Structure 1
């Protein structure tokens, strides 16, 4: 699966902008922007962009794997969260530049629970949805106003935006949905959890526990979001090629599972 590493910017074109000016602004490259957004026939005239189009711009420097959305006039955190299938609380709580969830400003860059996927030959939106476990309608909504994305057809080389499944209080950034993992893979994300305790387990498609319920601790306890990290040390060999990573908390009152996040994975 062609999950793309590095930093990507989601930018909405405004009047007067050119691909060249955007390449300079975001430390990217004209040809790369053209290729990954399909800015060529039959989608559009070569190198021509229009106000309102949404472009995915890869930074060419060696950066963490992150996706940032550039705030537009009239945006709100609620609107952005709805578009990218994420809770407002997650976006606000994991972006230090957001001091007040009711106040964001144009050109502010917000880190989103979204990753980019390079479309390969033979791909379809349905197949990508099945493999990642992300609903097709969520993928289409995240890619609204893209110049080369349609429900019926996607083209090789285009970068597709895929929302990362999250709950109100937990988001997992590693592993990403549909990615291939092996023993001692890294687990990483953000959580707003009582006493900072984050639980997880890994099961294969036959419901065999590859990693029984374990816990890690976030940097901060609720009501703040804290970053958590751990290693997925396999206790059993997987009995299937695919599985599910479950990350959650438990109620202090009755021990029931809360804030469950479920991610499709492939065993390497």
Structure 2
């Protein structure tokens, strides 16, 4: 029989023009995808090409498939490898479904492909599994918890929280210390080339001597406050204050209506205060600077408070940090 001058079986449109119902007892229906051939489909499902051709007598030319065409994938008489009864200790037995691959199964159940392959040594070729085949899904191994970072001891320096993009070299340059001194101050860091965002490190006192009249004051955390501390540099004769704080709690954590942090140079005897508002520098770090006239040589301490007003005249809020000026005399 001929169709437009060519043999009936050679016409590429014949399967599309004369569809026949697909009968598939003991198997399942598969829809042809772009790039499919009978050979590829047979290989994918682990059956012989002849078995696939025989199961689809409605296809006059097995060399011509049409995308969207429905064909029968036989499974009757195909015996997948049967694993031993106890082949999956601690895991779960899974029955392969149409369209499954080991990669898709591994991704679906949350194990690596390599672990799934190793759990199924009965599968000779991991690229070929059969519908109805029993495979072992190994137990999911929980990710071990990250061990806590060792505590940071920094008796004569400042605790700094590592920020995105930081390296030991960048931090050393930022704080005016040599890289070697920064490394020596942090023996808990096994590899100075690897530091983690959020990690606490100790920044030692800057290498260069302080200018005449400048005093360094360490600010310690008040009891009950979760913070890291702070450092202030102060000139008592030419009243100037530079201050940096680290890891102060969020204002909302201290209570309702707190709106800002302020540093105060305090004279307890006279009740006179000098105030500097602290502002964000980088996440977790607040800093401030202030200069005035007069003389601070009789002042007692520096404190940092959380206040409920934007322009406080005196410290009335919660004290979070404190440092004595006795070291400057």
Task: Settle same-fold status: TM greater than 0.5.
Answer: no
TM-score where L is the length of structure 2: 0.25
Structure with larger RCO (C-alpha < 8 A, sep 6+): 1
Greater strand proportion = 1
TM-score where L is the length of structure 1: 0.30
